[in-house]
Structure 1
Amino acid sequence: MASVCLYFQVHQPFRLRDYSFMNIGHNHHYEAADQNYHYLQRVAEKSYLPANALLLKLIKQFEGKFKVSFSISGICLEQMEKYAPAVLHSFKQLVATGCVELFGETYYHSLAGLYSDTEFERQVLLHKKILKRLFNYTPTTFRNTELIYNDRIASMAANLGFTTVVTEDARRILGANPSIKLYQSAEKEAFVLLRNSQLSDDIAFRFTEKSWAEYPLTADKFAGWLHRQAAFADTIGLFMDYETFGEHRAAETGIFDFLETLPAAVIGNRDFKFRTPAEAVKIHKPYGIFSVKESETISWADENRDLAAWTAGLMQQDCLRQLYALEHQLAHVGNSELWDEWGKLQTSDHFYYMSTRYWGNPVHDNFSPYASPYDAYINYMNILSDFEIRLQTAPVYEAY
C-alpha cells in the first residue's frame, strides 16, 4: 500500500527595517515590526486560518485516515506568538488530533548547515525546544532550510536524533531511480524521503496556469495520476509552501476546493493511504542509497535544484562570508540578545532578496520587499556593520 505524505512548509522571516548608513552606531533596532505584523495578519486571514480550519475538518471527517505534516520555522512561531496567537492556537488544535507530524529544522530558517556545524546544531536544538514548549512535541523527521541536502547534513541530522530527512528528488542525483521510493542516507544513518517535484509543483505552481494542458486541475484528476503508480509506488511526497492555499493561489482559484476534495479522491483507491513520514518509514523498506556530495548539494529551488538562489551572487557571498566570520567573536560573548539577532540575520530570505540571477522573475520578485537586489544588499550590510560594532564592545565571557 502506497503512502501519500502531504507536507507543508510554514515560514515567515523577520523582515528588516530600512536602515541607512547614518543609522550605524546609533540605532540598534533592526526589525520591520509593522511590516511583519501586517504581513502575518494578511497571510493568516487568507491562508493559515482558513487552511487550518479546513484541515481540522477533514481530519475529523475521515477519522484518522487523513494525515499531514508541517515544518514551521522557529522565527515564524515567534511571530505567531507575538502577532497572531489565534493562528498558533489553530496549529495546536491540529497537532492535538494526533494526525499531524511536526518536522525539525533550523530555528532561523538559515543556511547554517553549509557554513557552521556548531551553529547548525545550536539552531536545530533551539527549534526542538520551541516545539516542545508550544506543542509538547519531539520531532523525529528533519527538514533542512529549503530542502538543502547533502551527505554531511544528513549525518548531522542523524547525530541530533532524527531518523528521517526529507529533501528534493533532484534528477541530477537520482538519475533513472524513482522518486516514489524510500531511500537511506549515504552512511545508512537515516531514511530519506523525497519530494515528488512533478506532482507537488502541479499543485503549487501550475494549478492556476490556464496555458497548462492539464488545466483545470481537479482532485479526481490528480488522484488518478497517483493511482496509476499503484503497482510500484511506496512513498509519494507532496511537499509545498503552505501559503499555496489562499496566499499564492487565491481562494477564488478553487485551491481550497481542491484541498477539500483531495482526501476522498486519493483514498478512494484502497492501495493508497495518507501517512506521515514517521509512519511511512516504519512500513516501507529502503529502495537504495541517496548520496549527495557537498559539491553537488541540492535544494528544492529553481530548475537546477541547487544553491544559486542564495549563494551564487557576489553580494550574497560577501554578506555570508562576513556574517559567519562573526561566530568566533560570538563564542566569547554571553549576550543572548546578540546571539538571537545574529541568528535572525542568518535567515535565508535575506540572501534570496539579493539574487541578481533571477531578478525580474515574478516568482522571485514577489517575495522581496526591496526595489532591487542592490537595495537588499546595502540595507543588510548597514545592519551587519552596526551589529559588528555592538559585538566588538560587548562584554567577553569564557563561553556562552
Structure 2
Amino acid sequence: MEENLTLLYQRFLNNDCTDEELSLLFHLFETADEDILKRLIEDELSTIEAELPANAQETERLNAVRLRVKTQIGRGRISSRTLIYSLSAAAAIIVALTFTFLFWQRPGKEQAVQKEQVAAVIKPGGFQATLTLANGKKIVLNRSVKGFIASLGHTTVSVSPSNGVSYTSVGKSIANSSNTLATGRGEQSPYPLILADGSKVWLNAASSITFPSQFTGNDRVVTVKGEVYFEVAHNVSRPFKILSGKQEITVLGTHFNVKAYDDENCINTTLLQGSVKVKDLSSGASNLLVPGQQSRFNKTNGELAVAKANLEEVIAWKNGFFMFNDQKITSVMKSMSRWYDVDIEYQNFSDGNEKFGGTFSRSSNLGDILSSLQSLGNARFKIINRKIIVCN
C-alpha cells in the first residue's frame, strides 16, 4: 500500500494522475497510516521551501500544496459533477493533513507559546439529534440507536445505521402530524433523515427541520432553521418547498445546502445539482439558481443576490471539515461556537475585517484550531471554561 501511495502521490504532484488514479489516491489518503502521510507531505514541503525565499510564511507553503490539490480537482477532463464533489471532499483530507503538519509537527518558539496560551482542551461536537414526534414524544438519536422507534397512526418511524431515520406510511397519517428533528450546539445529525417522499436531509449544528409524517396536497412543505443539506426526491407534479423566515425555496428534485441561522444577517442557498427557485415572500422577488450558484437573501433589507459559490467550502461541514476561504474572524468564531458549544466574547479587538483561511478537521480539539488561527493573523484567543475571549 505504501509503495502505491508514494507512486500515486508523486504522480499527483506532477499533475500526471488519470481520473482513476486520482480517485484511488484520495481513497488511500483516507485509509493510510498517518506516519506515511506525514512523511510524504514532509518531503513535498521540503521541495516547496527550497523554491521560496528564506522569509516565506507558513501560509505560502500551505497554499502551494492547496493549489496543486485544486488544480487536480478542477481539470477540465473530469466531466462528472458528482465525481468532482467526491474528490473535492477527499482532497480536503490532504489539505487538512498538510495544515496540521505545517503548524504542529515543526512549530517554532512563537507557535509553541501561542499554543500554550490556548491549551485548554475543548473536545469537538458529536453525532446526535433529537426527534420530536407529532404526539410530543422526544427521542434522542445517535449512532447506537437502530430499529423501530415509534408509530404515528399508519406511519412507522425506524432507524437503520445505513439508511438513517425514516418514515414509512401504509395509510393516512394522523391529523396535524408535524415532526421536528433538531440539533443543539455541539451536535450534528448522526445519519440522514429520510422523509416520506424519499428525500434525504442532513443537519449541521444548532439546526432544525419541521416536516409532516406524510406529504398531502399539491406541495411538499418543510420549515428549516440553521444549516441543512438536502437531496430532494424528484416529483414534477409535487414541488418541494422549504420555508425559512421570509424566504421560500421551490425545487422538483435536486441537491442543495441552506444556511439560515438566526444570528446571521443572510440566508444562503447553494445549489449543487438540479435547479431551485429562491423567493422573497415579502416582495415577491425571486431568482432561479443553476448548479454552482449561491443566493444570498439579506434579512434586513430584503435584497436577493446570486453569485458563484465555492461548493467545496459550502459542504465541508457535511464531509467532516471546516473550510474557511477569506472569512472574517466573526464568521469563523460563529462556526466554532456552534460545533464546540462555546460562547464568544470580544475584548479590545480592533481587527474585525481581517480575513482568515484554512481547512480543519471537525474532530480536532478547539485549542488546536485556535492556535492555528493565532499563527495566521493578529487575533489572540483565551479559553475560560466554555468561553472564548478574542482580543488583539
Query: Shorter-chain TM-score: what band?
Result: under 0.3
Q: Which has the higher contact order (CA 8 A, sep 6+)?
A: 1
Whichever structure has more helix as a proportion of its residues is 1
TM-score, normalising length: structure 1: 0.22
Indicate the structure (1 or 2) with the bigger Cα radius of gyration: 2
